[in-house]
Structure 1
Amino acid sequence: MTELKNKIKQLIISSLDLEDITVDDIENDQPLFVDGLGLDSIDALELGLAIKKEFNVKIDANSEQTKAHFASVDALAEFINQHQS
């Protein structure tokens, strides 16, 4: 799962054009929004599209659980791992 988490981190960096951040700068359990990495709702939409394209996993924007899936790299990895076809 470490490889998946690193792919997610790289996807976050590349899809959101985070120039000053490396994979090593993002902790697996670090919050991605607000106090953590500081992403916002537009970043969430872009990241959701990138995840769908890269991993063929759709994240339902209207789901109550979506916020939980985007909580951290750990949470995204768990979600992707469970829903990959």
Structure 2
Amino acid sequence: MAEKKVTVASSVGLHARPASLFAQAAARVGVSVQLSSAAGKSVNAASILGVLSLGIGHGEEVTLTAEGDGAEAALDTLAELLNTDLDKQ
């Protein structure tokens, strides 16, 4: 299992538009990805409602996990997205 810790750069965290962009990207990576908050709650990263339910704010650290072929590349792609202020795209 591949795992990556990332600090959320979006100025409003993973709410509304940033959460939508992230969930859409997670759905496209080709492997199942889980997003976990610092509190330990974990959701399917491709689920917009799941991502929103975590209430992740700016500067919070999250953990991405995935299994299977391409898991490392998928996590790298999603981590890069989280390291970007998605409110400015």
TM bracket (short chain): 0.3 to 0.5
Higher relative contact order (CA 8 A, sep 6+): 2
Give the structure-2-normalised TM-score. Answer: 0.35
More helix by share: 1
More strand by share: 2
